[in-house]
Amino acid sequence: MKTVSSLLDAHWYERYKRISRLNIRSSIYDVTDRCNLRCKGCFFFSSGEHERAAEEKDIDKWHAFVEKEMDRGVNLAILIGGEPTLCMDRIEAFYKHLPTFCATNGLIKVDRDRFPDMMVGLSLWGDAEDETTLRGQDTFKVTSANYEGDPHAYYLYTITPKQLGKTEKIIQKIENVGLKVHMQLLSNDEDVNGFSWQEDELVAIREEMDGMLDAYPGTVISSKYYHQVITTGEMLGRRFGWNECPSVTISRDNRDPQPKRLTNFIRWASDLKTVHRCCTSETRDCSTCKDGAAHMSWVMVNKRAHIKTAKDLQNWTEVYEMFAKLYQFIPW
Amino acid sequence: MTTDASQTITRIAEIIINELKLEDVTPESFEPDLDLVDEVGIDSMDLATIALVLRDEYGIRIDEDDYPKLTTVRIIAEYIDTKLAEKE
C-alpha cells in the first residue's frame, strides 16, 4: 500500500502534515440580493438568483442562523452576494463567530477597526478596458486605494480570453500596491461576445498563468496543478462536471454514485431558508464551468486519488496550501 | 493483545480496505498503528463511510465529533470495545 511518507521526502512530508488535519468545512452565503455594480457575466444576476429569495432583514435572525451553522460543523463562512459590504451588520454576524471570507468588488471599504483580520477577496476582471466593458467602470482605481498594503486582502483576478498576453501588467500593478492575487477564469454566463474560452486560448492562458507564478511567486497565490486542472477541466484522467463537482449543496445532491464532495456543504440564499444548487449558477453548464473554488475543492476532496506518485501528492499538497492561504488557515 | 481484540483489529482493517478500495494490502498486513490521516490519506468523508459500516457491524454509533480521535485501526478497535462495554 502506498503511504504518504513512502512517497514524500522530509520537506514535502512536513508541508503535507501542516495541512492534512485542517479539516476545513465551508459553506457559502448570499448576504444580500443587491449589488452596487451590474457586471456582464455575473452569474448571480444573469441566472436570476437575486430574485429567488427575499432578504432576511432581522439581524437577530442572522446571528441565530450563524450559530446553527456552527452547530452543523461549518468552520469557514464564505460570503458572497450580491455585494456583501452593502450589509456590514450581516457580515459582522458571521465574523463574530466564525472564520469569515468576504468576496467583494471592493468599492466600499471594509472598516478594519470593525473587521481587523477578516480576509477580503477583491474581484477584478482585467485591465481598465475590460473592466469598463464588463463592469461599467475600472474598479481597480478605487479598490487599490481602499486596500493598498492590507495583509488580509487579495485580488481575485478573473481572467477573460481578452486578457491573453496582458496578465503581467495586471499582476505588476497589484504587486505595486502591496497585495496578493489569485487567478481564476471567467465562465461567461451571459455569452458576452468574445469572452468565451476557446481550446487554444485555454492552452495559452495556462502557460501564461504558469509564467506569472514563476515570475511573481511572492504576489501570485496559485499552483501549476490548479492551472492545469482549471484550464483542461481534467484531473487524473477524470473530467470535471456534474458527476464530479464537490461543491453541490448537500440537500440538492441526488447523485448516484456519490462523488467525493465537500462535507455538509450548502450555499444559502439571503432569506436564510432557500438553498442554491451549488456554489455558482444553476443555469451554468457544469461541463464548461470554470469556477476556481469548485476546481480547487475537486482536487482537495480527492486526496487519496493523489496518493499514487510523489508528483501527484505534491500537486495535491500545493493546491491545498493555496486554498488554506486564501482562506487564512495558514499564513501567506 | 487478546484474540478478540486482534480479531476486531483485523476486521476493521478489512472494512477499511474494502470501503476505500485500498490496494496492495491485506487485513493481516495492515499495520494497526499506521496513522490513517497522515499516512493513508483518509478524510472525514472516508471516516463517515467507515463509521456507517462499523455501526451496522457492531451496533454502535460513532459520534462525528469523535472522528478526529480515530487516527489508527488500533484506536478504532479500542473505541469500539469501549462503546460495546458501555452498552452492556
The residue among A284 and B1 whose pLDDT is bigger is A284
Locate A307 and state its grid cell. Answer: 496518493
Residues 6+ apart with CB under 8 A from A126: A134, A157, A158, A159, A160, A162, A163, A166, A170
**Percent residues over pLDDT 90 in chain A:** 84
Rounded to whole angstroms, the Cα distance separating A56 from A70 reads: 19
Q: Which positions in chain A touch B68 (Cβ < 8 Å)?
A: 21, 23
Q: Which positions in chain B touch A5 (Cβ < 8 Å)?
A: 38-39
- A4 and B48 within 8 Å at the Cβ level: the answer is no
Could you tell me which chain A residue has the CA closest to the CA of B64? Answer: A73
- A263 and B44 within 8 Å at the Cβ level: the answer is yes
CATH of residue B56's domain is: 1.10.1200.10
Helical segments of A188-309, H only = 199-215, 224-232, 292-301
Cβ atoms of residues A36 and A108 within 8 Å:
yes
Strand partners, A157: A124, A183
Locate A253 and state its grid cell. Answer: 445532491
Interface with chain B: mutation pick from A3, A6, A15, A317, highest number of B CBs within 10 Å = A3
- A261 and B45 within 8 Å at the Cβ level: the answer is yes
Cβ atoms of residues A123 and A174 within 8 Å:
no
The count of domains in chain B is 1
Could you tell me which chain A residue has the CA closest to the CA of B36? Answer: A3
What domains appear along chain A, each with residue ranges and CATH number?
26-222+239-280 (3.20.20.70)
- A1 and B43 within 8 Å at the Cβ level: the answer is no
What phi and psi values does residue A181 have, to the nearest 5 degrees?
Answer: -145, 140
Query: What pTM does this model have?
Result: 0.93
pLDDT at position B2, please? 59
pLDDT at position A322, please? 98
Could you tell me which chain A residue has the CA closest to the CA of B31? Answer: A1
Residues constituting chain A: 332
Flag whether pLDDT at B3 surpasses 60. Answer: no
pLDDT < 70 positions in chain A: none
Locate A212 and state its grid cell. Answer: 506569472
Render pLDDT for A236-265 as a digit per residue (tens, 0 to 9).
Answer: 999 999 999 999 999 999 999 999 999 999
- A304 and B68 within 8 Å at the Cβ level: the answer is no
pLDDT bracket for residue B1 (50, 70, 90): low
Q: Which positions in chain A touch B48 (Cβ < 8 Å)?
A: 263
Render pLDDT for A186-233 as a digit per residue (tens, 0 to 9).
Answer: 888 777 778 889 999 999 999 999 999 999 999 999 999 999 999 999
Q: Which positions in chain A touch B44 (Cβ < 8 Å)?
A: 23, 263
CA separation, residue A131 to residues A39, A57, A127 (Å): 9, 32, 6
Q: Which positions in chain B touch A304 (Cβ < 8 Å)?
A: 20, 40-43, 46
Rounded to whole angstroms, the Cα distance separating A118 from A185 reads: 24
Find cell 501567506 and name the residue: A332
- For residue B14, what are the domain limits? 3-87
Locate A284 and state its grid cell. Answer: 451554468
Render pLDDT for B22-55 as a digit per residue (tens, 0 to 9).
Answer: 989 999 999 999 999 999 999 888 988 899 999 9
Q: Which positions in chain A touch B63 (Cβ < 8 Å)?
A: none
pLDDT at position B67, please? 86
